Structure 1
């Protein structure tokens, strides 16, 4: 092994700056871990003259990716530039030039992970991506190493800090969605265009990665059923509170025997559930294993140094493999052929808020409909809406097949007594 390992860095934004800071300032720690010095030789940037918050030594900067990808002296490429197509091209080129790769790019791995991991294996290279899910929480390595001997049956995760911040503020302060979203944007927790976060796409990409690793079954992004939080109202959250629930945007990956279900949606959790106490921008993943039982991983799901810590930890793993001459063996081909549950095989409880005519027979019509469709009711709350002639009816069902519940929603739209189905959410973690 060489005395100095050369690293090329693609991107010098928030995370890239954190990576430079950690590598430049933790040389003693890195040398102790891997037995040699580590040096960032070249850094790809979009503008050479831009003012930066880290010392970069101008000679390290380049606007030409080939200065890194074609440099035979560079051993490892770290990709933190973001985006998909350019990042994919650069990572593939690095792997084909026999350079190991570390990436923090969840979008890239969710969409092209299978292709990239295959390229890594074919070229005897490592490809690690711990930072792509939940930043500083070491969840991917825990699944592939710490829990590798167990059979994972379910993972539930709060894996998007933006939506968790919004729902926390709405729940605790009774504020509206639009107001809290604007605040989150002003504080830097939400992008100017928050669509990927609030509509669940960001979380869907992360849960697809978790499902693939946890179940050893290739889960595509299109396999994830996705629903966001943009239609959640303060009224929904107030009724959740009255019934003892907390709402979170939760990614769910569950497996029964050889079939999996993967979704991202607003979920009601009992107030006593560990995920219910995860507030603001923090992330957490709850993992169920047949042998280990229930475990939870909690921490900062974003941020400069938490994410950079995960990136540099992957770099250390690459360098340890180089020292042992075992690179290229990290990509494990999924053990199982993908089989997804049908809606008849997905069971959950549901919360339903309805506006109905406040007159005799309405309640009977509703209970009759649920009875005929064989869905039993666990909780019912009915309140008059002042001066409207309407009643607000809150229902929590017992567990029902998703297909049966969707049929109920269709039939409610046709019921003469029902004016509007205001909201509907899944309930999890409540075994009462």
Structure 2
């Protein structure tokens, strides 16, 4: 039977995502009621600037006192779309203290303090859902947390930041330089005025930490994720990638060690073959490639950001949490039973594409090859082009521990015949 008393929702934050959440809750109220089994009512909207006009939202619902909204005694679910660490963390714990389940889109907070928040939710017997924190509208968190709960995930590799994918796609398809592609992304609204979180990989690293924790049933914090930005990727790198039948993407890569005793989590630009499904992900889209023991290879693809796509994920969580509330139950919480250690980047086995500026004279290639051999790194291919006493040397290695590859690069820098190391790029997805 349909419950007549509405489930009351507090919306914390009303920016691009929050305003879309409010709009959908209003325009699709009947559908949400039918899907949940009870009416759902927007009971209050906490904002920083109450004077701002918010189309479709009753001004009587707007407040600047989020804490008072949560403490007033009739709120069932809080939707947190403020972002950042504080005041979001305090507000979420306040919600739990007052019997309120939480839907969040806050990747930074979950990557940093997810374990503590899950523990608080479990202690209170409440839900913490966060599908919107990773990959926007793409159903990813719940399939990994629930649909694949009976399987063993060994690897996750994906494009989880739309801004960087747009920039790299433009560099690849038009030959634009990094700054030119970034300017276009900014003009189109894909990049923030300060794009640091995106282009330096912080945003992707936070998402990687969340996904790694779900995939490997272990606690992975943001500090555990190795991170490199993409600001140094050049047109020359794309030219080299094309000669290898590859393109370049900023990837989040999460792996379980072959012996199953540890995991690794990393974010960095990498060359991937054009035959790999991720190579064809264009514009500001996201895609995540999951490799599970029984299910095999799964691909999740779609818009990874934006108000409406992210709001779609938030509303999906809201429906699930409301259903749990009516059933007097909770959904899955944190699963960290394996407690696997996170290995350092040096333990990762990968390949390098290295571009060197060297003296164009006999014996240089032999010196370079010796340097690789001394560090236990095998060379796959070498390409050399010389002109006017200078030469460019491109070396692609076989797979080796990242520590050995990094040590090789440092040794190359010290050779008298090496004028400089112009580019280092990992090669993945083969």
TM-score range, shorter chain: over 0.9
Is the 8 Å Cα contact of residues 220 and 342 (structure 2) preserved in structure 1? no
TM-score (normalised: structure 1): 0.96
Is the 8 Å Cα contact of residues 101 and 127 (structure 1) preserved in structure 2? yes
Is the 8 Å Cα contact of residues 129 and 317 (structure 2) preserved in structure 1? yes
User: Could you tell me how far 1:157 is from its partner in structure 2?
Assistant: 1.1
Say if 2:280 is the partner of 1:305: no
CA pair 79-198 structure 1, distance change in 2 beyond 3 A:
same
Say if 2:33 is the partner of 1:42: no
User: Could you tell me how far 1:395 is from its partner in structure 2?
Assistant: 1.3
Greater CA deviation, 315-324 or 331-340?
331-340
Residue 241 (structure 2) aligns with? 240
Residue 368 (structure 1) aligns with? 370
Is the 8 Å Cα contact of residues 11 and 44 (structure 1) preserved in structure 2? yes
Residue 213 (structure 1) aligns with? 214
CA pair 397-210 structure 1, distance change in 2 beyond 3 A:
same
Residue 331 (structure 1) aligns with? 333
Residue 57 (structure 2) aligns with? 56
Aligned length: 426
CA pair 24-8 structure 1, distance change in 2 beyond 3 A:
same
Say if 2:281 is the partner of 1:278: yes
Residue 125 (structure 2) aligns with? 124
Residue 6 (structure 1) aligns with? 8
* 1:296-319 residue CA offsets vs partner (Å, 9 max, x unmatched): 100000011110010010011111
User: Could you tell me how far 1:348 is from its partner in structure 2?
Assistant: 0.7
CA RMSD of aligned residues (A): 1.2
Is the 8 Å Cα contact of residues 11 and 79 (structure 1) preserved in structure 2? yes
Is the 8 Å Cα contact of residues 219 and 338 (structure 1) preserved in structure 2? no
Greater CA deviation, 369-378 or 111-120?
369-378
User: Could you tell me how far 1:339 is from its partner in structure 2?
Assistant: 1.1
Residue 101 (structure 1) aligns with? 102
Q: Write out aligned runs for 1:320-359 (5 A).
A: 320-327=323-330, 329-342=331-344, 345-359=347-361
User: Could you tell me how far 1:344 is from its partner in structure 2?
Assistant: 5.7
* 1:91-121 residue CA offsets vs partner (Å, 9 max, x unmatched): 1101111101001010111111111111111
Residue 395 (structure 1) aligns with? 395
Is the 8 Å Cα contact of residues 264 and 345 (structure 2) preserved in structure 1? no
Say if 2:382 is the partner of 1:380: yes
User: Could you tell me how far 1:373 is from its partner in structure 2?
Assistant: 2.4
SS in structure 2 opposite 1:72? Answer: coil
Greater CA deviation, 94-103 or 21-30?
21-30
Say if 2:272 is the partner of 1:269: yes
SS in structure 1 opposite 2:358? Answer: strand
SS in structure 2 opposite 1:264? Answer: strand
User: Could you tell me how far 1:349 is from its partner in structure 2?
Assistant: 1.1
2: CA distance, partners of 1:37 / 1:235: 57
2: CA distance, partners of 1:395 / 1:279: 28
Q: Structure 1: where are the runs of 5+ without partners?
A: none
* 1:266-297 residue CA offsets vs partner (Å, 9 max, x unmatched): 01100110001011110011001011111110
2: CA distance, partners of 1:346 / 1:136: 31
Q: Write out aligned runs for 1:222-233 (5 A).
A: 222-233=223-234
2: CA distance, partners of 1:17 / 1:264: 31
Residue 415 (structure 1) aligns with? 415
Is the 8 Å Cα contact of residues 162 and 285 (structure 2) preserved in structure 1? yes
Segments of 4+ in structure 1 off by > 6 A? Answer: none
2: CA distance, partners of 1:185 / 1:415: 41
User: Could you tell me how far 1:198 is from its partner in structure 2?
Assistant: 0.5
Residue 135 (structure 2) aligns with? 134
2: CA distance, partners of 1:260 / 1:207: 12
* 1:231-264 residue CA offsets vs partner (Å, 9 max, x unmatched): 1111111111111111000011100212101100
User: Could you tell me how far 1:265 is from its partner in structure 2?
Assistant: 0.3
SS in structure 1 opposite 2:336? Answer: coil
2: CA distance, partners of 1:395 / 1:271: 20
Q: Structure 2: where are the runs of 5+ without partners?
A: none
SS in structure 1 opposite 2:126? Answer: coil
User: Could you tell me how far 1:342 is from its partner in structure 2?
Assistant: 4.5
User: Could you tell me how far 1:28 is from its partner in structure 2?
Assistant: 2.1
1: CA distance, partners of 2:177 / 2:26: 44
User: Could you tell me how far 1:343 is from its partner in structure 2?
Assistant: 5.1
